[in-house]
Every structure is written in C-alpha cells, then in structure tokens.
Amino acid sequence: MLKKMKKQKKKLAILVLLAAVLLGIAAEWMQKQESHFKENCLIRNEPGEGDYQESLNYIEEDSGEKGQIVLNLQERTLTAAEWKEILPEAEKEAEEVFRNGQQADHVSGQVVLCERVKNGLISVEWKLEPDIWIDLQGNIEEENLLPGQVVNATAILSNGKNQAEYSFPICLYPSENQNETNLGKKIEQYLYNQNAEEKEVELPQNMDGVALRWEEETEKPLVIFLFLGIFAAVVILWSGKKEQQDAKKRWEEELVKDYPEMVSRLGLLLEAGMSLRQAWKKLTDTYESKRKEQRLPKRAGYEEMLLTRRELEDGMGESLAYERFGERCGLASYRRFASILTQNLKKGTVGIGRILAKESEDAFSQRKTMAQRLGEEAGTKLLFPMLMMMVVIMVILVVPACMTMHI
C-alpha cells in the first residue's frame, strides 16, 4: 500500500512538473503574442481598447548604463474616414438606447442617458429642450405632464478629436401606473399630516373617492418554518440511515477481522479434548476477563459469541443457539461456521479440528483480501486531496503568468 502511494505521489509530482513547464512555455508564448513592443516600436491599442502602460528597459550604448521607464501610450484615434463611416451607426445606437426600447411617438417611465456607444469608442453628452420633463437620471417628471409632450433630444457624439451632434424628437406620456403612484403619495401626505403625538394613527378608508381596505403584508412565517422543519426532518432521517449503514459496515468488517482468530482458537481447544460447549465458554470467559481488565477493545465476533453463551446458559439447545449465532452475524463465513458446529453435534468431533483449521486458513486469506481492498479505498480517498493540491499549484503558476500578460 505504501509503495503504491509513493508511486502515485511520484506520478503526481511528475505531472505537476510537466504541467508547470508547459504552462511556462505557453505563458511566455502568449506574452510575446500580447506584447506591444515590436523591434524598437510600441503598438497602440485600437480605438476603444483604452490606453495602457508599458514597462521598458533601456541601455545607453555609449556608457552601457541600464535603466527602466514606464511609458503611458494613448490608444489610436479614429481617422476622418473611420469617423465618417462609424458615425451613422453611433447615432442610431444612441437614439435606440435613449428610448429604452420604446417607440419615439410614445415614451414613458424612463429614458437612458447613456455616456458611451459603440463599445465605449464614442462618448455621448445629452441636451434636452425643454429640459424640465426629464431629470439627470432619465426619469420622466409626470406631474403636470400632458400626454404627447414633445421633447427634442440632442446627442453630442465625440471621440476626442472629432465631434458631431444628432437630434431627434420624442413624445412623452404618463406611465400606466401614474394613478397608483399619485395615490401612494397622497396617502403618505395624509399620514404625515396626522398628529404625531397620538400613539395610534387611523388609516384612511377613502381617498379621492377610492374605497380602501387595509391588510398587513407578512412573510408567512408558518410556511417558512414548516418548510425548514420538513427539510430538517429529511436531513435527520437521511443522516440516521447513513449512520446505521456506516455502523453496519464497521460491524461486518470487525466480524471479518475476528473470524480467523476465533475459528483457529476454537479448533485448538477442541483438538485439546474439550467439548464444543466447554471450548465456547473458555473463549468467551477469556474475552470477558480481558474486557473487564480493559486489555481488549470491544470486538463484534466475540460479542456475538458471548450472547450465544448466555442463550445456552438460559437453557437453549446448542444446535439452535449456534444456528442463531450464524443468522445474527449474517455473513456467509459465519453461516458456514454455524453449519460446521451443528454437524459436529450430530456426527461427533472426529475431524473437526482439521475442518476448522482449513476454515481458518480460508478466513485469513479473506482477511488479507479485505486489507488490500481497504488499502485501495484509502488510496482513492487520498486522490481528491492530491488533486486539490495540484489545482492550488496550477493557480500559483497561472496567476503570476496572467498578471504578467495583463490578462
């Protein structure tokens, strides 16, 4: 098992080293591809990509002295031909964004005063005439607004070097929920005008001819707690079932571990001339004595033997007691063991030692197989932490590379 784990760690180390080399090569290649420095020249970013800083080293050829400088290089500006080509699309985009998905002859609620269009390539400033119906956030002032109110919107488009104005009219209308908004404002004003010294404030039953009925808006805690209770009950039941399954698995593993020793010792006592009942009692007495002296932990196989001994002391027949022992343990090996014991009672003890010795050898082989399986399971459980370590190492390698390439 240890050799296998060492091999896995060596493989993982080799993979990590190989990945680091490949990532380093890829990062260096990408850095060269992304570099703005080309043979004593700096390449500007395209319009809209923004300015950038470039750190360069220089060498004075006469003295050989070295230095470092950080240069700020502005993005490339649009040429006159490019500006002329992109301007109609920018004007159309500015108007569509401004109208916020509405038609020009019916705009309500809010408009969008965008600051840039064409993916940030062109900046936009807005001029409205008249400017009393739309605030700086684009909200339409609906108080005293007449349906169909015309507003001329002018977008001033610029990219620093070139500038153009684009105007278009829109018709403003009150939003459909204006009445609801006005009613809410009137109710708030009503409450504000009430006497603040009074503990209770009576809510209006009628406002501008509209009959009102009041209800408290609650979060319905009963439903929330009922849902949480159901969820907690499901989790508890699931966890209880999981614990039972884990406990049963551990119990069966302990039975498998105890079986070879138990069969071997019982066979030796029978070969020494003891009867089956005497040998059974001798084994359980020894186990019980060591348990009292705290020299031995609780072991599943011997606990089942102890229960069978008590059944025998209570008057149960030997054959039935051994059969019940095999059924309680549930494993095929214990059922086979119980069958051997019951046959021994019927046919006598001739050859029982040899049979139990053979059974003990088979049991030791099964225990060895189980130990190998548990070792493989342990190696599999270690695989996830090792993968997590690999991910951490990859991050440690990739992040500096990405920072170097300004990604």
**pTM tops 0.85:** no
* Residue whose pair of structure tokens reads 């990405």 in the numeric block: 402
Residue 173 sits in the same domain as residue 255:
no
How far is CA 392 from each of CA 196, 372, 395, 406, rounded to the nearest angstrom? 62, 31, 5, 21
Q: Which domain holds residue 369?
A: 248-385
Q: Domain for residue 230, yes or no?
A: no
Name the domain count of the chain.
2
Q: What is the model's pLDDT at position 177?
A: 56
Q: Domain for residue 201, yes or no?
A: no
Non-local CB neighbours of 155 within 8 Å, separated by 6+ positions: 91, 94, 95, 98, 124, 125, 126, 165, 166, 167
How far is CA 6 from each of CA 10, 347, 370, 385, rounded to the nearest angstrom? 6, 53, 21, 15
SS percent in the chain: helix, strand, coil, step 5: 55, 15, 30
User: Could you report the average pLDDT of every consecutive run of 10 residues in the chain (407 residues)?
Assistant: 56 70 70 64 73 71 72 76 87 89 86 87 89 85 83 89 89 70 68 75 78 71 70 73 79 82 81 83 88 83 88 88 87 84 73 71 69 68 77 79 65
Q: What is the model's pLDDT at position 370?
A: 66
Q: Of 179, 203, 218, which marks where a domain is finished?
A: 179
User: Can you give the CATH number for the domain in which 160 is found?
Assistant: 2.60.40
Q: Domain for residue 359, yes or no?
A: yes
Q: Domain for residue 318, yes or no?
A: yes
DSSP 3-state of 17:
helix
CB atoms within 10 A of CB 320: 12
Look up residue 346 and give its two tokens. 């019927």
Residue 253 sits in the same domain as residue 375:
yes
Residue 366 sits in the same domain as residue 257:
yes
Residue 165 sits in the same domain as residue 290:
no
Q: What is the model's pLDDT at position 4?
A: 55
Residue 298 sits in the same domain as residue 376:
yes
Q: Domain for residue 3, yes or no?
A: no
φ and ψ at residue 235, rounded to 5 degrees? -65, -40
Look up residue 366 and give its two tokens. 């099964």
Residue 268 sits in the same domain as residue 345:
yes
Distance CA 140, CA 133 (A): 6
Q: What is the model's pLDDT at position 35?
A: 63
